Every structure is written in C-alpha cells, then in structure tokens.
C-alpha cells in the first residue's frame, strides 16, 4: 500500500480555490465599492450569469448552499406550504433541519427507483395525500441537478418533471450546487438555456464545488418571486458586507473562457477515470456515474483496508458483508491518486 | 470643490481586504483539508484567538455579523425568552428582523442618555416590566463594543453592566463587529483579556471591518453554551464548506504582528483625524468620537453640497435646518480624502 | 373594612359565562355535526356576524385572543415584514412574544401622548425609519378598540388612522377583544358598520370578555387575505374539533336581542359607576374612562389597604408615593362591591 | 337502504358533549376565579389527574390536540433537534405542518409492519442515520396510544419502546387524544399508572373525544421539563382566559365515577359491535380493531352505495377495485345506526 495521510475522496470541497479565481480576486481588490452586493463585480457577474443562462432573472449571491436553499425555498412559501423533495434530497436529511427551521415541512418522496430523480408520477402521489387544510399544502418542488446520488436528469426527464410541477401549480427550485457537473454531463445533454426553457422558477449556480472559495448564485427566473428578495437575504444573515468577494469569483467563472463549466467537466472526467478503475477490477457501480460521484459496492474487508490510505464515506450496507461507498472527485483530484487507488484495489481484490 | 466620484465615508466595508490577508490566503490555498471548519487553518486560528483573549472558549467562524448575532443569540434562548438590547443596537433595527425570525423578541431599551451604552439601572428597568408568563422572559443582554454610535464602554462601565447582567441571571452576548476599534480605543482602556475577565458568555471578533474579505469569529466562553453549537451553524446555513478561507484570514489576523488590532488602531486614528478636521471648522460632534465613527451636526445646506463629493449617511434631524450625519473611517481611509474634505468644509463654512 | 376574599377588579374574565350562553349551548348540544368549524352553528354565527358588521367577510372562530392575534397577523405578513403597534399594545408586551414566535418584529411606537391610540403622524414616523432591506418592512398596523388603556378611538380618529394606513399600503388588523365595550362607548360613537366602512382588513370580535366561555371571531374583510386561512388555523392548533361550541356562543351573542353589545354596555356602565365613586372621593383619573377600565392615581398607603379587600393591578408608579392602578369591570361586576369600595375609599381618604 | 342524512362514522368528535359534563359546567359557572388556569377547578382537576395516573407531574390544560402536541414537543427540543414519529403519526401528516412551524423536523419512520407502532429497532434505525451536525439530532419520540390505525401498544410493547427511547437519551411524548380508549382496551392491558411507570416524560389526556366540549390535559412527568411551561402556553396562544371551563370538564371526568374511562369503554364497545357486523358479512378487517376505530376492506362499488347513508373516510386503495375505509365510533354512537348499517351491508354483499 502507498503511504502518507489518506487521500480525500470524501467530497468536492476538500481542496482550496482554483488559482485563477484567487488571482482575479487579488487583482481587483482595490478601490471603494458599495457594500452588500451592490458593487460593480456583483453587477457584472449577474449580467454574465443572465447572459449564459439566457434569462432576465434576478441574480443574488450567498455564501453557501444550505443558505441558498433555505432562503430560496422559504421565500416561495406561505407558512402552511411545504416543499416536495426526494428522501435523498440534500434538504431532506443533510441540512440539519434548515428548511424546517424556517417553518416549512419537507414532503419527502422515496425516489430510489428512479435513482434519486423526481418524476411526474411521484409528484402526483405526493399531491394526492395532501388535499386539505389538515395537511400542509405542497407548493414547491426541490430538484437537484446533479442529484445527491451522482445521477442527472436527462433534458427530457428534467423538462417533464418541471413542466408537470408547473401544471400542478408548484414552484420549481433547482439546487445547482453541482450544476457545473450536470451541464458538463453527457447523460444530461442539457445546455445552459435549458433550465429556463423548461420553466424553473429559481435555481442556484454553485461556485464552491466548481473551484471557488465560497459562494452560490441564486437566479430568480419567475418575476413574481423577485420582489423584496434582498430582505430575505438580510434577515437570514446572507447579505455579505463586502459582497464584491462573491461577485469577483462569479465574474471570473463566467468570463469568456467558461471556467465554471470546465471545472464541472474536469470533475466528471476524473470521476469517470475513477469509475473505470473500479470496473477494471470487477467492482460493480451502485448507481450510474453520470457526474463526479462514484458509488460502488465493495467487501467490507476491502473497504477497511482502503480506508487506511483513502478517505471516503460509507453510504449504505449492501448485505453479505458488503457496503455501498461513495467517492467524490473534483476539478482538483490528482490522477496519480486515482492510479494509486487502482493499483491498491487490484492487489486487494486479487488477494481476497 | 474637488471632483471625481464621491469618496465613501458611508461605512467601514467599502474597501476590499488588506493585501496581507489576501496574500496569506493565496499562499496557503493548496492541499486537501477537511471541510466545514475542521481544517488546520481554522484550528490554528481558534488557538490564536483563545490565546489572545485568554480563554479556553470554543471558537467558530461564520461569514457575517448578522449571521453571528442570530446564531449566537438563538443558541442561548428558549422559545419564550428574549434579549435586552439598546434601541440603537444593531439587532434592534438594522438586521431586518433577523432575531425575531428565529422566534425571539428583542426588548429594546432607550439608551440615548448613556450614548448607546446599556447600564445596570437600564437592565433593572427592563426586568421590572417582565415578571411573569404574560411577557417574554429576559434571558440575554446584547452589548456592542464599540457601539453603533461610535462610543465605547470603558473597562469599568463594561465590567459593571456585564457583572450586573450575570447577577440577574442573564447571558451576555457581545457583538464585536468593531471590537478591534474598541480594544484600540483609549477611552475603553480594555485589554483583550478584559472581556472574559468581566464575565461575558459569548462574543464575536469581527474580521470584515478589520480588513478581512469576510468572516466573524464566535467565541463561546460559557461552557454550558458550547454543546452542539455546530448544529446551530449548520441549520442556519453558516457552516462554510471550505471553512479554511475563514480560518486563514483569522490565523493571519492573530499572528504575532497583531494585524487585527493594528487595523482597529488605524481606523480610529483616521476617525480622530477626521473629527479634528470638523472641529477645526467649528463643527460640533454629536457624540464623542471614541472609535472609527464620527457623528457631527451640520447645516442641511452644507450637507447637500458636501454630498456631491463625499458619501455619508444622514443619521437624524437636529432641528433648525441642521442634521446629524455619520462618517465612518476604516484602516484604508485615505488621509488625502480627509484633507480634501477639510478644505472643502472650510470653504463652505466660511461662505455660509 | 368589609370582609371575605378580595373582590376581583383585576380583569374582565374573572367571572364565568353568561347563563343565557350556557343555556343555549346545552339546548343545542345534541346531534351529529361536521367538525372543525363546518357545523351549522358556526355557519349561522358567521352569517349573523356578517350581517351585523355589514360585511361579506369570512368569519372563523378561535379559542382565545392571543391566538387570534398571532394567526391573523402572521397570515398577512411575509417573513421580512413587521407590524406597527403602540408600545402599550397587547401584542407588544403581554403576549409573551407570540408574534415574534411566528417570526415577525413588532415595530413598537410610543403612543402615550395620544392615550394609547395610534395616529397618522405616528405611523409616518415609523415608516420613515424603515426604508430598505436592512430593516423589516412595515406591512400591517395593529389597533385595539377599545385600547389597553381603557380609551377608545372616536369614529373620526379611527377612520383617519385606518385610511392613512391603507394609503401607506399597510394592512389594518383590529384586536376586538373588548370591541363590545368600544361599540357601546359614547366617546367612540361608532356603529358596527363603521369598522368595514373605515377600511379595516381584518378584525376580531371578542366573546370571552363579553360573557362567553371562550372564543373570538376573526373577520377577514379583505378578499386577498381570505385564501387558505383554515390552513393557518390548523397549523397553529386553533381549529377546534367540536367547533360547534364556539359557533353556538356567537350564534347566541348575535341573535336579535343583541346580547353581545348589551354585555359591552353593562361593563361600561359598571366602570362609569366605579369611576364616579373614585371622583366623588377626589381621586384623579389617570386616563379618561371611555369603556370598562378605570385607571386612577392613589397614594401607595391607600392602595395597600384597599388591596386587603379588593383585587386590582398596579399599573405604573406616579411619583410622590403614589401609583396608577387599574380596575376593570365586566358585565358581571356587582354594584354592591363597587358601593363597598366607595365606602371604604371614603373612609380611607378622610383618615389620610 | 335507510334514509335521512348520512350517519357520521367519520370521526369521534361529530357529537356534542356528554350531558353530565355540560351540567357540571353550568352548575359551577358562578363566582369569581383567577384567570389563565389558576382557578379552583383547574387545580382540583390537576390533583385528580395526578392521583389517577399516579404521578406528581405538572398538569396544564389546552383547548385542542394539535395545540398540545406542538407545545409539548417544542418545549422539549433545542432548535436543531427533531422528533421521531411513525409515518402515520398524527403530527407527521395531519397537523398541517404544526411541528415544523415551530422549527422542528419530524423524523418519519415507516411502521406499517408493526401496525403503526414504533419499536426499539425502528428507533435504532432512525438514530443510525442521524449522527452528526449535518442532520437534525433526534431528541424526542412521539407515540400515540391508541394509534392512528386504531391499534394499541400492549403494556409490554409500550414499556419496551419507552425504555429503549430513554436509554437512547430521547424524551418520550405520548399523544393521548384517544388515551381513554387505549386504557379501556383489552389488548393494551394497561392501567393508568403504567404510563408513568414505563418512564414517559410527557403525555396528554384527551378530553374532546371522551365526551368533552374541548380540552386536552398535558401532564409533565419529567421534572426537568416543568420549568416555565406556562410561558410556552402563553406564547402559543393556549392560555385560556377563563381556564375554569377546561378545569370543570376534567374535574368531572376524573371524579369518583370514572366518567372519562367509561367513555373510552363505550367507544370501544361500539366499535367492536361494528367490527362484528362487518365480519358477520364476511368483510375483512384491515387492521385489528383494538379500540374505537374500524378499518375494513370493501369493494369500491359497495363503498359508493354505503356512502349515501353513512359517512366515513377512504383510507387507502387496496387494489382490485377495493379500498380500505375507516369508520370511527364514539361513546355516543347509536347502536341503531350500526344495526342499520349491518342490514344494509348484508343486502349489498348478498347482491354483489
């Protein structure tokens, strides 16, 4: 086995920021600017995002993804309204009750059969059990593109579920913490403009996982949701005093060289490379590797040995002394680390 | 009058970050680290803050000051408990109801007679009108050091109000968004260790206004408030994925050269220089200039003319065609801008 | 002095229900009815209330006044919006932070100069200090008729403040826990139809203090506030399973003999009788006795002696060893108790 | 078929109050009493409840069951803590998001295999997926006795799940809206004292469904949860001004003749009689009829015809043109109505 501290495949935020981002920030640090997101960099970044996503939506910047989700969703909902999400949706489990803390129920749907994707018929099932004032009123749908299982909605799947939600008078919120990997994914087959074309009401554009220091953009497409949004930001503590430091990052992400999308591509390519390493050792993928996350089924004894040298999470038991584990790649994952893992894995599988 | 875009005396976050901070971030950007504030930089920064403030408290980092206030205070309070604050306290007016959005009432006290400072007798008055279950139960006190009026608590004043609060079984939370200017203030006469020595339960250490990109440290002194604090952070969307970018800034602030405190000193010196410019023109200060904010009383006609070249806020009408205006300096305020303002003001006052 | 347990002038809910109400409930207890306010009694009661107040508004019943206030106000407000109320308003102090617990700030205004009444100029002052997203957005006004100081708005005062609020794009909510006494008050000079005519958006009709067992009606005049209100009721725990027991009380209150209004008259007449007893002893009223509450200024020594035989609350110190005390009458107050108090008071004032 | 308006088997609150309760209220309506639950009737009722349930717990009265659940649970939980409940638990679906509106997540567990009952192993499964600050922290368990499926926990089942919850450092809250039917149930085999003996921290004693007008008692067994509970009641609008009207009902329920328990027995006996009527027609029970709810599987065509004369809810589709329906009995259900239904059903099943 190789040595040194375990190499982290835990997540896609274990590395720092892309040097190009840091340099752009440092180069444009000088001078006075209005605070709270009204500076030139935020304005330019918003323009570029609007242009790239083909929308006249409002664009706001917040520091993190949970913040974006809780502010975006709570801004759409009356107190008695809830949001439909897959059981595996990030808001449903891994945000410490952030949505409920704003007073809203998450109507969690088991979407295991569709690899973590919501479908029109799953929405219908949720609506049928929420019909009067004794239950919450479903009013929004929470989609993640890419999903928490590393899968993506294809353009058709995405369009179908968004359209159906709109027909059911539901707002559609898309958590795009990993949107760069989704738009770079072959299976998705989606262009930037396809989100707005499908009819989403609000979506986020993840900066952190795409090589930023921090920051997510919230894009409000639906005009009726634009009003007074800065009040929501301020009240939840999300209106950063020196907003320029988010604006500068996104201004650079969406400059002509498409840095943001390229970061998504890189992450996906690294994951594909990793998935192939597993497959070449005869290891089965638990879900298709559409983006930058790899879910594989391994013997628990092999997991234990790999863990000495590589960091990753156990996802779920798979029976017979095996488990599903998750490994995540990013734009910064080192191919050498993947190669080492492949070598180690091959040795372990031979000997077992 | 001088020309160009108005020079901003609006606030202390119109400038970018101190170049030393940015350089430190760029120099330490590489390598893998655990996310969510468990990285080496956050750990070292926490150690340095503990050492500097002479406490064994827990240290957490969040991106902004409203976020720090709402998380810190809501973590202390049962649903039926409220927080006592001056009417001019930042949480009482200028945080868009962030505290109320967590379910808690602010018991606002008029502290005009004490220049925005709470006193033991003001606390007593608040407690007397909140005696049973028909009112909220006061359980915390919100102090700002320096205050929103640019004044500071002297060491004795600070100690007296903190001790009295503790005797009344109230938690003491100190908003230190401008703590660097307070500890650098002659009138305060306080050392770093005096906060903990006085008995505060929780305080914040402001990074943004001291030359950071963003970030405030929350220091939890009282052991009974330490438990599970990271749950609060996560639930409110404050647990930054790449926490290192806050850790690196604070690690640098509290390195041996005391950058953080020096930023506070610089801001104060610039404000004193500005206050003297006003006084040399015969302009009256509305409140004492203890730190980096200058409140002066000016004729409305002069205000209107100054505003063409200098940015600042009207604070309150002062009667007889005059108003109180606020001008704020920072570590980055240009002395040349102050000199120009002094010249312009002298010309205007002569001609009026 | 007279003997026995102190006679309670503490409040207007120390007595049980009016026997006529109880009899009506018992007489109509039988038979099956739909639950949750959809029974015949609730429907008839709503019809009668609509007819009496000359409105086509929606009518809902809840068990208490704090519940009515918190549900009504929170149904009107987006998360970042607040409600303007006098400092002495019931929601501002004496509801244990019930409004804040729904996430909303109360913008408290000192209305001492207008005896607890809001005025157009007081509203303007509040609006001037709440102009952008750094503060909450004022969106509703909370009026009490009669006020917590026992005073009432005259028809002109009421109409003026309601109209001004509407011009300022504020919703008007009227807490009518003591509305019966207000409509029976000479100074108010208001008819039932004057609430809707002035333009209020929502008001409550207090049953408890008018001789009911419990229950307040919420009348929603503004059509845009009607939608989905039952969801709010359910979510806050206010949708009573056997709603008929509220419906039956209000059906009886608003039957042809105008029981509800007569209860208000009786309470006022008892209070006037009590006020005259004080005045005949040379005791000064602290505020005008427009309805069923009497505020008088007494020597603390006399207060102490009276308290052995009569129950009432100290309201505020008045200086020079004197205090303002509050005595409340209801429809059920015994004239004999008032006569005894008059005799005792006369003896005490002679001897002091 | 029989005629007239459909006979309601929808629920157990379609009838009014038991006449004995109304008479007791009317007989004790006179005289002055302190408000807000501090009257003699509330004190005596609390004493009787303590004696009957063999506890020195605190007893409070609120008007409804959703109110009791939301106040009881939110009083136990820090903002980041959640409550474990079966998917079919009343709070999980049928309270319009009342718990989430207080900021807390419900961790919903599928308990179909155990007929709506939580078990130690179901608790363990929930705890395993909630381990750090990225999820809510489970801190309470919500049990209903009897359950929403009409089943009960046997004494052993109840004791086992309560003990296990306590070992896992979870508070146990028992929703006793139908506790009278549970304690009267043979399968439960529980005595009044068995709740406290098992170790529950808080439970409610339902008055509404047991023949009251309204009202649930909240019993706080765990001393650390007693403090300041009246603040919670006030803040949520649950502190009824004339609390005596709840006290009087419960004082009567728990007088020597055990009216409350007898009401539960009557409801159960009526349901058994109804279940036997179904079974005698060859109709299958969907879940065992332990208490006063009957779940049966019927052909949709028969359901449609029965619905013309009898009111009841469809519960779930059962496949093959059949559905599960729920019929609920109460202390007041008429045997004649059940007999009519049996006759009609027999005719329908013969002809189908």
Task: Cite the beta strand spans of D250-309 per DSSP E.
Answer: 293-299
Beta bridge partners of B58: B220
- What value does the mean pLDDT take over residues C238-262? 98
Class of the CATH-defined domain D7-14+259-351: alpha beta
List CB contacts (< 8 A) between D136 and chain B. Answer: 231, 235
Closest chain D CA to residue C17: D29
CB contact under 8 A, C135 and B108: no
Closest chain B CA to residue A5: B32
SS3 content of chain D, % helix, strand, coil (to 5): 40, 20, 40
List CB contacts (< 8 A) between B77 and chain D. Answer: none
List CB contacts (< 8 A) between B316 and chain C. Answer: none
Task: Cite the beta strand spans of D222-328 per DSSP E.
Answer: 293-299, 310-311, 313-319, 322-328
CB contact under 8 A, A234 and C102: no
Distance from C-alpha of D17 to C-alpha of D332, rounded to nearest angstrom: 9
Share of chain C above pLDDT 90, in %: 96
**The model's pTM:** 0.96
What pLDDT does B2 receive? 45
Q: Check: CB of residue A186 under 8 Å from CB of residue A269.
A: no
Distance from C-alpha of B44 to C-alpha of B41, rounded to nearest angstrom: 5
Chain D: partners with 3+ C-beta pairs within 8 Å: A, B, C
Q: What is the token pair recorded at A123? A: 């929405």
Distance from C-alpha of D164 to C-alpha of D141, rounded to nearest angstrom: 11
Complete edge-to-edge strand list for the sheet that includes strand C137-144: C58-62, C216-220, C202-206, C171-175, C137-144, C81-86, C106-109
Asked if the domains D7-14+259-351 and D19-253 are classified in one and the same CATH topology, the answer is no
Question: CATH assignment of B19-253, given 2.130.10.30, 3.30.365.10, 3.40.640.10, 3.10.350.10?
Answer: 3.40.640.10
Chain segment D203-250, per-residue pLDDT in tens? 999 999 999 999 999 999 999 999 999 999 999 999 999 999 999 999
What pLDDT does B5 receive? 77
Class of the CATH-defined domain C7-14+260-351: alpha beta
How many CB atoms sit inside 10 A of residue A321's CB?
10
Chain segment A133-149, per-residue pLDDT in tens? 999 999 999 999 999 99
| Average pLDDT, rounded, for chain C | 96
What pLDDT does B352 receive? 66
Q: What is the token pair recorded at A144? A: 């993640």
Distance from C-alpha of B103 to C-alpha of C99, rounded to nearest angstrom: 8
Length of chain B, please? 352
- What value does the mean pLDDT take over residues C296-310? 96
Q: Check: CB of residue D162 under 8 Å from CB of residue D191.
A: no
- The CA angle B145-B149-B152, to the nearest 5 degrees, is 35
> What is the DSSP track for B317-329?
EEETTEEEEEEE-
Distance from CA of A48 to the nearest CA of D (A): 33
CB contact under 8 A, C33 and D22: no
What pLDDT does A352 receive? 66
Which SS3 state, helix, strand or coil, does residue C19 take?
A: helix
Helix (H) or strand (E) holding B275: helix B259-280
Q: How confident is the model at residue C2 (pLDDT cuts 50, 70, 90)?
A: very low
| Contact residues for A121 (Cβ-Cβ < 8 A; gap 6+) | none
CB contact under 8 A, D79 and A101: yes
Chain segment C111-144, per-residue pLDDT in tens? 999 999 999 999 999 999 999 999 999 999 999 9
What pLDDT does D298 receive? 96
Q: DSSP H helical segments within A169-315, as ranges? A: 179-183, 194-198, 229-235, 244-253, 259-280, 300-306
Class of the CATH-defined domain A19-259: alpha beta
What is the distance in angstroms between the CA of the first residue and the CA of the last residue of chain B?
Answer: 15
| Cross-chain CB nearest to B16 (options A30, A97, A239) | A30
Distance from C-alpha of B334 to C-alpha of B260, rounded to nearest angstrom: 19
Which site among A35, A60, A77, A80 would you substitute to test the C interface, given the most C Cβ atoms closer than 10 Å to its Cβ? A80
Distance from CA of A165 to the nearest CA of C (A): 20
What pLDDT does A351 receive? 78
Closest chain B CA to residue D132: B231
CB contact under 8 A, D80 and B235: yes
Q: What is the token pair recorded at B38? A: 């468990």
Q: Check: CB of residue B306 under 8 Å from CB of residue B277.
A: no
Share of chain A above pLDDT 90, in %: 96
Closest chain C CA to residue B126: C93
Q: How confident is the model at residue C1 (pLDDT cuts 50, 70, 90)?
A: very low
pLDDT tens, N- to C-terminus, chain B (352 residues): 444 679 999 999 999 999 999 999 999 999 999 999 999 999 999 999 999 999 999 999 999 999 999 999 999 999 999 999 999 999 998 999 999 999 999 999 999 999 999 999 999 999 999 999 999 999 999 999 999 999 999 999 999 999 999 999 999 999 999 999 999 999 999 999 999 999 999 999 999 999 999 999 999 999 999 999 999 999 999 999 999 999 999 999 999 999 999 999 999 999 999 999 999 999 999 999 999 999 999 999 999 999 999 999 999 999 999 999 999 999 999 999 999 999 999 999 887 6
**Residue ranges of domains in chain B:** 7-14+259-351, 19-253
How many CB atoms sit inside 10 A of residue B56's CB?
8
What pLDDT does D2 receive? 45
Q: How confident is the model at residue C9 (pLDDT cuts 50, 70, 90)?
A: very high
- Taking 70 as the pLDDT cut, the residues of chain D under it are 1-4, 352
Distance from CA of A99 to the nearest CA of D (A): 8
Which site among B37, B74, B77, B80 would you substitute to test the D interface, given the most D Cβ atoms closer than 10 Å to its Cβ? B80
How far are the Cα atoms of A193, C276, D32 from residue C7, in angstroms, in the given order?
Answer: 76, 18, 8
pLDDT tens, N- to C-terminus, chain A (352 residues): 444 679 999 999 999 999 999 999 999 999 999 999 999 999 999 999 999 999 999 999 999 999 999 999 999 999 999 999 999 999 998 999 999 999 999 999 999 999 999 999 999 999 999 999 999 999 999 999 999 999 999 999 999 999 999 999 999 999 999 999 999 999 999 999 999 999 999 999 999 999 999 999 999 999 999 999 999 999 999 999 999 999 999 999 999 999 999 999 999 999 999 999 999 999 999 999 999 999 999 999 999 999 999 999 999 999 999 999 999 999 999 999 999 999 999 999 887 6
| Average pLDDT, rounded, for chain A | 96
Helix (H) or strand (E) holding B155: helix B155-167
CB contact under 8 A, B97 and C82: yes
């Amino acid at each position: 086995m190789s040595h040194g501290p375990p190499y982290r495949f835990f997540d896609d935020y274990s590395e720092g920021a892309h040097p190009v981002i840091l340099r752009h920030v440092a180069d444009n640090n000088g001078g006075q600017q209005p605070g709270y997101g009204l500076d030139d960099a935020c304005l330019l970044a918003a323009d570029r995002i609007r242009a790239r996503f083909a929308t006249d939506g409002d664009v706001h910047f917040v520091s993190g993804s949970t913040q974006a989700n809780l502010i975006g969703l709570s801004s759409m909902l009356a107190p008695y309204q809830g949001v439909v999400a897959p059981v595996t949706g990030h808001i449903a489990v891994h945000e410490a009750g952030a949505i409920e803390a704003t007073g809203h129920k998450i109507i969690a749907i088991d979407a295991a059969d569709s690899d973590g994707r919501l479908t029109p018929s799953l929405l219908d099932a949720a609506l049928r059990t929420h019909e009067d004032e004794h239950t919450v009123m479903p009013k929004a749908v929470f989609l993640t593109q890419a999903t928490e299982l590393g899968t993506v909605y294809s353009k058709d799947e995405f369009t179908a579920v968004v359209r159906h939600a709109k027909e059911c008078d539901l707002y559609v919120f898309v958590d795009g913490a990993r949107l760069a990997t989704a738009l770079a994914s072959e299976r998705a087959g989606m262009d930037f403009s396809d989100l707005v074309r499908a009819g989403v009401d609000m979506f986020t554009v993840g900066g952190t996982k795409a090589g930023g220091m921090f920051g997510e953009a919230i894009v409000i497409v639906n005009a009726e949701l634009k009003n007074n949004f800065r009040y929501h930001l301020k009240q939840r503590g999300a209106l950063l005093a020196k907003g320029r430091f988010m604006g500068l990052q996104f201004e650079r992400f969406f400059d002509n060289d498409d840095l943001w999308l390229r970061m998504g591509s890189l992450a996906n390519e690294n994951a594909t490379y990793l998935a192939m390493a597993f497959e070449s050792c005869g290891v089965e993928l638990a879900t298709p590797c559409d983006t930058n996350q790899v879910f594989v089924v391994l013997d628990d004894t092999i997991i234990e040995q790999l863990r000495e040298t590589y960091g990753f999470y156990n996802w779920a038991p798979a029976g017979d002394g095996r488990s599903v584990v998750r490994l995540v790649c990013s734009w910064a994952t080192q191919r050498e680390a993947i190669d080492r893992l492949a070598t180690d894995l091959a040795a372990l599988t031979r000997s077992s």
